[in-house]
Amino acid sequence: GESVGLHLPTLSVQEGDNSIINCAYSNSASDYFIWYKQESGKGPQFIIDIRSNMDKRQGQRVTVLLNKTVKHLSLQIAATQPGDSAVYFCAENITGRRALTFGSGTRLQVQP
């Protein structure tokens, strides 16, 4: 994944607004993608996943969009809440590999 050192990209939104977090991936062989949420001092928590044969998948307050043409993944969070404040990572699974490859994270800060 890309290295961003200690300075994660940060998205700051107002409580109640919608949030969009973006992720670029580079391997066209990737066929499965996951978004994880990680709070300070905790392990990554599964949010939503999508397979490469889909363009969009919706969960509760979250939507993942996949654009294979430009190798882009986004996570949309509706009506963002203070509890959504965390670092968000996208991860990809490359066909034939067991491991997930994580991208660089984005810190989401929700202002009350």
Residues that bind other proteins (CB under 8 A): 1, 3-8, 32, 34, 36, 41-46, 49, 89, 91, 93, 97-105
Contact (Cβ atoms closer than 8 angstroms) between residue 28 and residue 69: no
CB of 49: closest distance to other proteins in angstroms?
A: 5
Q: By C-beta, is 53 or 69 nearer to other proteins? A: 53
**Is the distance from CB of 64 to CB of 74 less than 8 angstroms?**
yes
Q: Which is nearer to other proteins, 51 or 79 (CB)?
A: 51
Beta bridge partners of 13: 110
Task: Evaluate whether 28 touches 71 at the Cβ level (below 8 Å).
Answer: yes
Q: For other proteins, give the closer residue by CB, 37 or 84.
A: 37
